Amino acid sequence: MTSAPSPGRDRFRLPRWGQRGTAGASIPARLTFENIVQTYGSLNALNGLSLTIEPGELVCLLGHSGCGKTTLLRIAAGVEAPTSGRVLMDEREVSGPQAFLQPEHRGIGLMFQDYALFPHLTVLENVLFGLKGLAAKDAEASARRALSRVGLEHYANEYPHTLSGGEQQRVALARSIAPRPGVLLMDEPFSNLDRRMRDAIRDETVAILRETRATTIVVTHDPEEAMRIADRIVLMRAGAIIQQGSAEDLYRRPENLFAARFFCDFNEVRGEVRSGQVSSPVGIFPAPHLADGTNAVVCIRPQGIRLKPAGLCLPGRVVSRRFLGEVELLQINVQGVDRPLQARIHDPVSIGVGQDVGIEIDPKDVLVFAATDP
């Protein structure tokens, strides 16, 4: 007989999951938002947002708190009706002036940040909750298959309070995939987990999502998380889409300073554009996209700074050094720059605090924006 699990037992070891390829595939749907506006009194949460998510695509809505990403998720789910605009699933209007389909009739799976498990129901009963349209025997088979895939079939008769946070997350995942929804919506699903557990559960969750083939939206404020899991990232700010594309697109080719800052803690140095170049205290860099006289911001990735012997390249002085495991973080004072430059160095260096160094900046790790960019 299986003994009752103790709270937090998987806090110190990574969870075991079921066999890959057994989650069961759904029929993915296309999800379309057309000119969505959502207001709460004088607050504009969404400002005419339009977005199409293709069948089977995994999209991350990324942005700071209050940017509108969770509001968009709630509108997709049918928990809220938009002030104006339409939501369509496979060209069928589910929210809008012509129709409003209730959440339980949309074929959408939901997974909330707090997991929203029913404390008075067993693990199996929680997963069964979304399978009321099936015959009892078929529903139980589907629920047990979903629990097996997330590695919790042995705890079907336990209650949520006996489970650790990671296990509760997996129960919520099993409940959301058991009905094989065409669209799956996930609101900050990994934010309540510690980092080691989060990485492991996130990777396996993505594997399950690929198996189900459901069209998936994941809301997150973590750019690294979005880069790790998404086919496409949609970066939002103040109820609007700032930029969308692959992780590489947004990281290497941000369209403005806001997007650039979201994906990297840059060294930012001010300069002025002359003849298609920006002159700054750390060097001269191409800026053909900016007009002469523009006040510019030279953004330098910390990993783009190379150390050279003193007397070579740009002179600087090390004022701080921190060992971070795979890299060392150095802060280097440079004349004419208000704040020390941060350099992330992978190769060990025998340089002490207070020592003079030369600085070389890799051009591929430099971006230039107008200082008036958002």
Does residue 228 form part of some domain? Answer: yes
Identify whether residues 182 and 297 lie together within a single domain: no
Identify whether residues 83 and 230 lie together within a single domain: yes
| Half-sphere exposure for 340 (CA within 13 Å, toward CB) | 16
Return d(Cα 178, Cα 146) in angstroms, integer: 6
Domain boundary among 226, 252, 278: 252
Identify whether residues 63 and 197 lie together within a single domain: yes
Identify whether residues 283 and 304 lie together within a single domain: yes
Does residue 220 form part of some domain? Answer: yes
Identify whether residues 205 and 293 lie together within a single domain: no
Domain boundary among 189, 224, 252: 252
Identify whether residues 26 and 173 lie together within a single domain: yes
- Provide the pLDDT for residue 246: 97
Identify whether residues 217 and 302 lie together within a single domain: no
Does residue 2 form part of some domain? Answer: no
- Provide the pLDDT for residue 44: 94
Q: For position 129, which CATH number holds?
A: 3.40.50.300
- Provide the pLDDT for residue 373: 63
Identify whether residues 229 and 105 lie together within a single domain: yes
Count of residues in the chain: 374
Q: How far is CA 259 from CA 235, 263, 309, in A?
A: 8, 7, 34
Q: What is the secondary structure of 199-252 as a DSSP string?
A: HHHHHHHHHHHHHH--EEEEEES-HHHHHHH-SEEEEEETTEEEEEE-HHHHHH
| Structural tokens at position 328 | 């060392």
The answer to whether 72 and 33 have CB atoms below 8 angstroms apart is: yes
Residue written as tokens 């205290």?
281
Number of domains present in the structure of the chain = 2
Does residue 213 form part of some domain? Answer: yes
Q: Where are the beta strands (DSSP E) in 256-340?
A: 267-274, 277-280, 283-286, 295-300, 305-308, 314-323, 328-333
Q: How far is CA 203 from CA 143, 199, 210, in A?
A: 22, 6, 11
Identify whether residues 237 and 273 lie together within a single domain: no
List the pLDDT tens digit at each of the 374 positions of the chain.
444 444 444 444 556 787 776 777 789 999 999 999 999 999 999 999 999 999 999 999 999 999 999 999 999 999 999 999 999 999 999 999 999 999 989 989 989 888 889 999 999 999 999 898 789 999 999 999 999 999 999 999 999 999 988 899 999 999 999 999 999 999 999 888 888 788 888 999 999 999 999 999 999 999 999 999 999 999 999 999 999 999 999 999 999 999 999 999 999 999 999 999 999 999 999 999 999 999 999 999 999 999 999 989 999 999 999 988 888 999 999 999 999 999 999 876 788 899 999 999 999 999 999 997 66
Q: How many CB atoms lie within 10 A of CB 310?
A: 14
Identify whether residues 64 and 173 lie together within a single domain: yes
Coil vs helix vs strand at 122: coil
User: In degrees rounded to 5, what are phi and psi of residue 95?
Assistant: -145, 130
Does residue 184 form part of some domain? Answer: yes
Distance of CA 307 to the CA centre of its chain: 33
| Structural tokens at position 146 | 């979903």
366 has which bridge partners? Answer: 300
Q: Tell me which residue range forms the domain holding 134.
A: 14-252
Identify whether residues 118 and 151 lie together within a single domain: yes
Return d(Cα 318, Cα 171) in angstroms, integer: 50
Does residue 125 form part of some domain? Answer: yes
Angle CA(219)–CA(240)–CA(263) in degrees, nearest 5? 60
Coil vs helix vs strand at 24: coil
Domain boundary among 196, 218, 252: 252
Identify whether residues 232 and 109 lie together within a single domain: yes
Does residue 5 form part of some domain? Answer: no
Q: Which residue, among 135, 246, 226, 133, has the nearest Cα to 181 in the 3D structure? A: 133
Does residue 25 form part of some domain? Answer: yes
Q: Which residues contact 324 (CB under 8 A, 6 or more apart)?
A: none
Q: For position 345, which CATH number holds?
A: 2.40.50.140
